[in-house]
Structures are given as C-alpha cells and as structure tokens.
Amino acid sequence: MKISGKALPPRAAGLLIFDFMALVVATPFLFMLASFMHPEGKSVASVVVSTLRVVAMGLACQAVFYYNELYNLQIVRQHVATLTGLLRAFALIFLILAVGSIAFPATAPMLSRVLLVAICLAALAFVARVLALPRERERLLILSPAEEAAELQQTVIDCPEWNLEIAQIAHPSNLDTVVPHGTEPTERFDRIIVAEGFRQDTALLERMLEWKLKGLPVESIQTFYERARGRIRMHDLTLDQCLFSTEYSHGIVTRRLKRMLDVCLGVILLLLFAPIIALVALLIVLQRDGPVIFRQDRIGLNGKVFQIYKFRTMRSPVGDHSPKWATEEVDRITPVGQFLRKYRFDELPQLVNILKGEMSLVGPRPEQPEFCRLLAEHIPFYAQRHAVLPGLTGWAQVRYQYGASIEESRRKTEFDLFYVKHLSFGIDCAILLETVKVVLVGRGAL
C-alpha cells in the first residue's frame, strides 16, 4: 500500500484499514441498526444525526491513535508500549466524551453507549496489534558487492517495521551457486534485491525475470532503499533516472490544488493564531533589543530570491555578519526566542510569505543564497529541490534534524528530493498531520 508515493509497511496499512473499518464503518452501522431496532420514538433524522456523530467520534479515535504512535510498528512490536499507548489514547477519548457530554447534555445518552463500545474497541485494538506482526519475517536475498550489502543490512536493522531479515548475501556473479539451475528460490527467499551496477547483466536479468513471473518480488537497491527509508539514495541517482521516471513531473492540476490548500489553510491559520501572533509581538517589543520581525534573503522557486519573515529569536550579531549554521548561533538566542523555537511560533509570520505565493505550507525549507551556492557545489541534484515552492514544513523536517553541516544537508536533500519526486496533494496532507505530531512532542527540525 502507498500513501502518496510513500510506501506504508503492509502490517501498518492493515492496522490502519482495520481501525477504519471498526471505528468509522462497523461501529456506526451497529449503532444505527440498534437505533432502528429499538426506535423509542426517535425519528429517522435524529438517528442519522446520531450516527454521524459516532462516525465523527470514530475518526477522532483514529486521529488519537495516530498521534499516540499506534500505527508505528516499532512501537506496536513492544506490547507494553502498545498497551500504554492505547490506555493514553482512550483516556483522551474518554475526556473528549466527558467534555462533549457536559457541553451538549442532549447527547449524553448516546455518548454513554459509545463509552461502553469504546471499552470493547480498546481490547480489540490491542489484540489486533498483538497479531499484527507475524513471527516469520520476509527473507531477503541480496545480490550486491559487500560495501552495498553492509548499507542494506543497516537499513534492515533501522527499519524493523518492514519485518525483514537477510537470508543471504551474495555477489551477483555467484548466483548459480546460491540458486542452482533447476531449484526454486521461493523455498529459501521471499524477495530479491539487486545492486544497480548489475542491471546490464542479461543472463542475470533473464533468470530473475523468470522468478518474478512466478511471483517472487525482485527490486533494485534504489527502489528498496527509497521504499524503506523514505529518501532518495543520492549516489545511485542519475540524470536519466530523473528524466525518464514517471515521477518528478508536477502537473498543473497538482500545482493548483496545492496552491488552493496553501491559501485556504494559510488564511485559516492566520486568523486562528492572530491572538498568539499579537502576544508574541508584544513579548518581543518588551525585550527592547531589536525589531519584532526578522527578514532575511532566501532562495525560492526556480532559484528566485525572496525575503522570509520570522519573529526575531536572536540578539543582533556583533562584528561578523557572515552566514552561519544554526548550531553556531545558539548562544545568541533570547529566552523568549527559546520558547518560540520550541513550539515553532517564530515561523508564524511565514504565513504572509505563503499568502504572497513565495512559499507553500509544505516543501523543502528555504536556505540562504550563500549556503545554496556552497551546498550546490558539494551535493549533486541540490538545485532540483528548488523545482517546488519552499515550505513552512516539509518531508525532511518531519523525518530528520537541523542540517548543521554539508553532510547533514546532503541527508536532508535526499528527503527533499523524495518529496520533489512524489509531490502530491496527499503527501502534503500527510506531512501536515505529521508536523502537528512533531510540534506536540518537540522533535524534528522544522
């Protein structure tokens, strides 16, 4: 299963679908059925309205599950952590029900019945997560030189949610020894991963095509790495791969849909956070050590320079005004600035950049021109991240940390290129949901 280009581990997708069917489909259906079997003077309209409330509650439950990491298979693998997450999730759900019952007394009878159902759903959710991961893992045959195989081994270790194990590593030239002619590889392996450099070996490809036609999955290291890690494997990327790929092409419909999302959410967020913006501005004014808004040149769409807006979180530099990595300027952050950065309130003025069309809600973070020139000299395909509008948040921000060196910026660029490759309305929505989680738990770069 894929969500906007990002492959989702099959077991996580199964849990997502199971919870949706249980919470949003089955529970409202049973509630509606019970209401019609025991009408007690209720009209059809009132039953429909009550059912829609149960549907809304089911969606809220699934959102609470998501923000409590109950679809993260690394958490689900640990039964104590799963139970803790479920208890925390349902405690929040019960709190929502209690507040709803107080705020809307007329819904109290319906909410009390949902409360009883929630207890059954909690048990069902726990059992589903216990059974989500089978004991048997998917067995991999890796056909690759030793140095690339070591990287894949680390990927398998770092991504346990994919439920993989390396059954054997072999050089492609030794394939006949690993799988002799006349034998079926499916008896020992569930998937074959092949190094990029051996895709021109006709004899090798013919054998693997035969196996693939019999149902054995075969994929390149680049494809596997991208699927498991959620980023592009930079040193394997070539111009012809980008040019002839079905991705990397952003149609007019996608761009217009993205712009509509930016404008609509930008206006809503600006109105929603207006009191906070006013309070933050007042706190900065009371510091009496500089302007409220910090402006700086950044590189935007197609390399165009624009001025980004932020709430000022640092004291003015003394002497050297040359650009510095973020970690080199920690000593200049003010007490108010530390609070603003922790909860990302310093980025709120960029909603103006979004409404002006200089930025998007989601996209690669814009860098200073000096850093862009430096990084373009050391990182291949760095300029391609400017093919889309820079964002307030992005795939790299929810998956990685601040880039405080060329090597860390290289890693962030791999995430940025993944986003450029798979740009869609769906992945923007997924990143926005993940951003809320990142802000709430205080991790990531953003």
Q: Write down the pLDDT at residue 386.
A: 95
Q: Do both 286 and 183 map to the same domain?
A: no
Q: Could you give the CA distance from residue 411 to residue 416 in angstroms, rounded to a whole number?
A: 9
Q: Could you give the CA distance from residue 29 to residue 19 in angstroms, rounded to a whole number?
A: 14
Q: Write down the pLDDT at residue 156.
A: 87
Q: Write down the pLDDT at residue 306.
A: 97
- Domain end: 72, 101, 130, which one? 130
In terms of Cα–Cα distance, which of 351, 355, 360, 358 is closest to 425?
360
Q: Do both 322 and 404 map to the same domain?
A: yes
CA 101 to chain centre: 34
User: Is 240 within the bounds of a domain?
Assistant: no
- Domain end: 214, 229, 244, which one? 229
Q: Do both 196 and 327 map to the same domain?
A: no
Q: Do both 122 and 152 map to the same domain?
A: no
Q: Which domain holds residue 67?
A: 2-130
User: Token pair of 265, please?
Assistant: 């959410």
What 3-state class would DSSP assign to 296?
Answer: strand
Q: Do both 213 and 352 map to the same domain?
A: no
Q: Write down the pLDDT at residue 280.
A: 94
Question: What does each of the 446 residues of the chain score in pLDDT, given as a tens digit?
Answer: 444 444 557 677 788 888 888 888 888 888 888 777 776 666 778 778 878 888 888 888 888 888 888 888 878 878 888 888 888 888 888 887 777 777 766 655 555 566 667 778 888 888 888 887 766 788 999 998 888 888 888 888 888 778 888 999 998 888 888 888 888 888 889 999 988 777 667 888 888 899 999 899 999 888 888 888 889 988 878 888 888 777 887 888 889 999 999 999 999 999 999 999 999 999 999 988 789 999 999 999 999 999 999 999 888 766 555 666 665 566 778 888 888 888 889 999 999 999 999 999 999 999 999 999 999 999 999 999 999 999 999 999 888 877 678 888 999 999 999 999 989 888 898 899 888 887 776 554 44
Q: Contact 262/442 with Cβ under 8 angstroms?
A: no
Chain length of the chain: 446
- Domain end: 103, 130, 157, which one? 130
Helices (H), strands (E): how many in the chain? 19, 10
Q: Could you give the CA distance from residue 104 to residue 117 in angstroms, rounded to a whole number?
A: 20
User: Is 235 within the bounds of a domain?
Assistant: no
User: Is 241 within the bounds of a domain?
Assistant: no
Q: Contact 195/173 with Cβ under 8 angstroms?
A: no
Tell me the whole-structure pTM to 2 decimals.
Answer: 0.82
Domain count, the chain: 3
Q: Could you give the CA distance from residue 170 to residue 380 in angstroms, rounded to a whole number?
A: 30
Q: Do both 154 and 46 map to the same domain?
A: no
Residue type, 47: V
User: Token pair of 143, please?
Assistant: 């056909």
Q: Do both 317 and 388 map to the same domain?
A: yes
Q: Do both 271 and 419 map to the same domain?
A: yes
User: Is 242 within the bounds of a domain?
Assistant: no
Q: Could you give the CA distance from residue 409 to residue 174 in angstroms, rounded to a whole number?
A: 38
